[in-house]
Amino acid sequence: MAKIIDAKEAVALIKDGDCLMVGGFGLVGCPLTIVNELSQSHAKDLTIISNNLGEPGKGLGVLVLQKRVKKAIGSYFTSNPDVVQANQKGELEIQLLPQGTLAEAIRAGGAGIGGFYTPTGVGTKLAEGKERKLINGKEYLFEPSLRADVALIRAYKADRLGNLIYRKSSRNFNPMMATAAATVIAEVDEIVDVGALSAEEIVTPHLFVDYLTVKGECRL
């Protein structure tokens, strides 16, 4: 059974130097209550695996301005000029992955697969330094899988066991991230009794979820 905690307690589980997976595409599907609380903490030297780093002054973008992110692994950082500027100043290391490659690297990490070969990126700067393999006459790049110390994910509802359902496009990277971290904290709109969710609508089974926190709830 997942433990129900508030955002302050969730952030207390994050240590200096941790690697975090954070769900979301822009701000949609991002666990903003936890992220906002994280911006009030002292955790630093973080590696963040996420599609992007929020927006200027919003979401994960606040952590960038606070210079608390050491490295970012993701696909779409140019929507936040603060990220571009921090990288150009040498304050933030960026590892850029095509979006499909990022998704598959997370999925592979959750499935216990060490890595995979993909043709995406062949012949571009993204291929520099990567192992190459010819398969059936076609060139592929090896991409290692991704895992994290903590995954911060966003779902719509949870039952008290920790089974999760998602709402529309906010689902994005969240289900696969729930499988690929040592500790998984899910921010939800509502926690319902066991049995209130249909088995057919559950996307993330409770065995992947360690902690639940409700959106907007934070004890002072």
Q: What is the pTM of this model?
A: 0.95
Instruction: Give tens-digit pLDDT for 143-171.
Output: 999 999 999 999 999 999 999 999 999 99
**What sign for the dihedral angle of Cα 115, 19, 183, 196?**
negative
CB 142 within 8 A of CB 69: no
Residue 70 inside a domain? The answer is: yes
Q: Residue 115 pairs with which residues in a beta bridge?
A: 144
Residue 166 inside a domain? The answer is: yes
Two tokens, residue 92: 């933030």
Residue 63 inside a domain? The answer is: yes
| 138 exposure class (CB count in 10 Å sphere: 0-12, 13-18, 19+) | exposed
Residue 179 inside a domain? The answer is: yes
- Angstrom distances, CA of residue 207 to CA of 143, 162, 179, 182, 211: 27, 8, 9, 12, 11
Instruction: Give the model's pLDDT for residue 216.
Output: 86
Domain that holds residue 182: 3-214
The domain that contains 34 carries what CATH number? 3.40.1080.10
Instruction: Give tens-digit pLDDT for 182-200.
Output: 999 999 999 999 999 999 9
Residue 219 inside a domain? The answer is: no
Q: How many domains does the chain have?
A: 1
Residue 74 inside a domain? The answer is: yes
